[in-house]
């Protein structure tokens, strides 16, 4: 691929007042990567005046979110995952190869024009189909500090090891990255434990703690259902693209046992199937203790109002449950990844949440009804003390400040592992 020269010779900006951070958000599906990147970006611009953060994202809904002063984004062509596991271009009438090449070119040009001091890559060491490798190579040559940020749980160990071997992820870790930030605690889970990492790579891993979330300012135009004026359970499936089973199970529980005391408000998410949503709305409209809204970019406000949360337990929702100290029932998905299930098992083990799983693919409304009745009386996350549990953003800010104070000098590729 053609290489585009930097706009000016020399290393990235080193003047602290002009520090620049580039974030690559792996976002082929859902909202998780985007929302995590947004939280980190907003935290970094609050670290010191003059910091600029640019997020590279393919999310079709990134424009719906508010960002802090100093944060902006570059939208690359979106891709979407098909039921068979393959991918296609989200909107463009081009092949997935052409879409990936276009994304790769935009990412490289953005990196070379923006010239960041720090490049944070979310989840995928080489990006979607290796699309960020050219940018990694160019930024490394110019002294940019390269960081891989991963959530607390990736997948079950055996599958993750196979996937990363296929993608060349471990080699990318060794070759490019100065640090690996794990947005969790090793006492809860070690997401890379199954990988045969070289010792010099292991020394680059830092556990930050979970990313604390704040309550955003509510818009005066926002209108919530009447059920939110008294205690209620908030049912959220994140982006909603894979949350049909949870919504159906909750609605079925209220249909089977109308006497459940705590009413529920369902948030569908932007990616829920329209036909499925229409069917759910018809059922919800028939029940006095159920209501729903389509999507809320400031869902933290609604979470704060809620007496309890019912969720699938993705990373961001888990952070919000901890941050807002909400009683929570986690109903994790198990396909195509076990990420949510692993997190829920560990969180329940520590007493932070309660978990409800399907019984061999069956979802008994009575089991859900029983869990919903118990929900208002279960312990809160704050009843368990875990040091550093929500220190993630503070740790990231500190490491960012240290990186600015001690800028990385331009250097060749990391030496081979010991």
In angstroms, the CA 223 to CA 136 distance is 44
* Boundaries of every domain in the chain: 16-212+390-405, 226-383
Residue 210's region, left for phi above 0, alpha for psi from -120 to 50, else beta, is beta
Backbone angles phi, psi at 202, to 5 degrees: -60, -35
For the four alpha carbons of 267, 184, 382 and 374, in that order, the dihedral sign comes to positive
Task: Concatenate the DSSP letters of all residues of 323-386 into one string.
Answer: HHT-EEEE----SS-SHHHHHHHHHHHTTS-EE---BTTB--HHHHHHHHHHGGGSPPGGGS--
Check residue 252 and give its pLDDT: 97
Give tens-digit pLDDT for 351-374: 999 999 987 678 999 999 999 999
Q: Are 397 and 43 in contact (CB under 8 A)?
A: yes
Q: How far apart are the first and last CA of the chain?
A: 33
Q: 226-383 has which CATH code?
A: 3.40.50.2000
52 closest CA partner among 136, 120, 116: 116
Give the CA radius of gyration of the chain.
22
The CATH class, in words, for 16-212+390-405 is alpha beta
Backbone angles phi, psi at 22, to 5 degrees: -110, 130
Check residue 74 and give its pLDDT: 96
pTM over 0.95, yes/no: no
Check residue 408 and give its pLDDT: 58
The alpha carbon of residue 59 and the mean position of all alpha carbons in its chain are separated, in whole angstroms, by 12
Check residue 413 and give its pLDDT: 42
DSSP tag of 236: E
The alpha carbon of residue 296 and the mean position of all alpha carbons in its chain are separated, in whole angstroms, by 16
In angstroms, the CA 123 to CA 154 distance is 8
Residue 222 Cα distances to 79, 293, 328, angstroms: 31, 11, 25
For the four alpha carbons of 240, 243, 244 and 247, in that order, the dihedral sign comes to negative
Query: Strand, coil or helix: what is 15?
Result: coil
In angstroms, the CA 212 to CA 195 distance is 28
pLDDT per 10-residue tile (average), the chain, 418 residues: 39 60 81 88 90 94 89 94 81 95 98 97 95 97 95 92 93 96 97 92 96 83 88 87 88 96 92 88 96 87 96 94 98 87 97 90 92 96 97 96 69 42
79-81 and 87-89 strand pairing: antiparallel
In angstroms, the CA 196 to CA 161 distance is 8
**46 Cβ neighbours under 8 A, 6+ residues apart:** 68, 397
How many Cβ atoms are within 10 Å of 274's Cβ, its own excluded? Answer: 8
In angstroms, the CA 284 to CA 299 distance is 20
Residue 195 Cα distances to 154, 160, 164, angstroms: 12, 8, 9
Evaluate whether 16-212+390-405 and 226-383 have a shared fold.
Answer: yes
Check residue 5 and give its pLDDT: 40
Backbone angles phi, psi at 297, to 5 degrees: -70, -15
């Amino acid at each position: 691929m053609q290489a585009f020269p930097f706009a000016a010779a020399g290393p990235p900006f080193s003047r602290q007042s002009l520090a620049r951070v580039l974030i690559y958000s792996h976002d082929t599906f859902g909202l998780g990567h985007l929302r995590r990147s947004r939280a980190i970006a907003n935290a970094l611009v609050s670290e010191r005046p003059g910091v600029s953060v640019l997020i590279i994202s393919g999310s079709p809904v990134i424009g719906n979110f508010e960002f802090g002063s100093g944060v902006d984004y570059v939208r690359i062509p979106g891709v979407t995952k098909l039921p068979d596991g393959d991918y296609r271009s989200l909107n463009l009438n081009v092949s997935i190869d052409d879409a990936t090449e276009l994304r790769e070119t935009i990412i490289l040009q953005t990196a070379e024009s923006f010239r960041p001091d720090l490049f944070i890559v979310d989840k995928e060491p080489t990006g979607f189909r290796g699309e960020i490798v050219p940018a990694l190579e160019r930024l490394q040559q110019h002294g940019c500090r390269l960081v891989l940020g991963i959530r607390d749980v990736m997948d079950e160990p055996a599958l993750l090891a196979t996937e990363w071997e296929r993608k060349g992820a471990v080699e990318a870790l060794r070759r490019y990255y100065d640090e690996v930030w794990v947005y969790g605690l090793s006492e809860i889970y070690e997401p890379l434990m199954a990988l045969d990492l070289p010792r010099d790579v292991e020394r680059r891993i830092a556990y930050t703690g979970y990313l604390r979330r704040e309550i955003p300012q509510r818009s005066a135009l926002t209108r919530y259902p009447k059920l939110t004026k008294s205690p209620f359970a908030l049912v959220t499936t994140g982006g909603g693209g894979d949350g049909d089973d949870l919504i159906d199970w909750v609605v079925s529980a209220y249909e089977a046992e109308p006497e459940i005391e705590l009413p529920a408000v369902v948030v569908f998410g932007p990616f829920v199937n329209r036909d499925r949503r229409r069917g759910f709305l018809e059922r919800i409209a028939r029940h006095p203790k159920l209501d729903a809204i389509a999507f809320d970019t400031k869902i933290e406000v609604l979470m704060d109002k809620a007496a309890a949360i019912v969720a699938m337990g993705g990373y961001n929702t888990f952070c919000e449950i901890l941050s807002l100290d909400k009683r929570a029932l986690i109903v994790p998905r198990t396909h195509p990844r076990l990420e949510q299930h692993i997190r829920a098992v560990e969180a329940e083990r520590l007493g932070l949440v309660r978990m409800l799983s399907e019984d061999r693919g069956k979802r008994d409304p009575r089991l859900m009804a029983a869990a919903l009745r118990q929900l208002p009386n279960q312990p809160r996350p704050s009843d368990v003390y875990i040091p550093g549990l929500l220190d993630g953003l503070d740790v990231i800010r500190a490491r960012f400040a240290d990186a600015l104070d001690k800028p990385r000098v331009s250097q060749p590729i990391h030496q081979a592992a010991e």
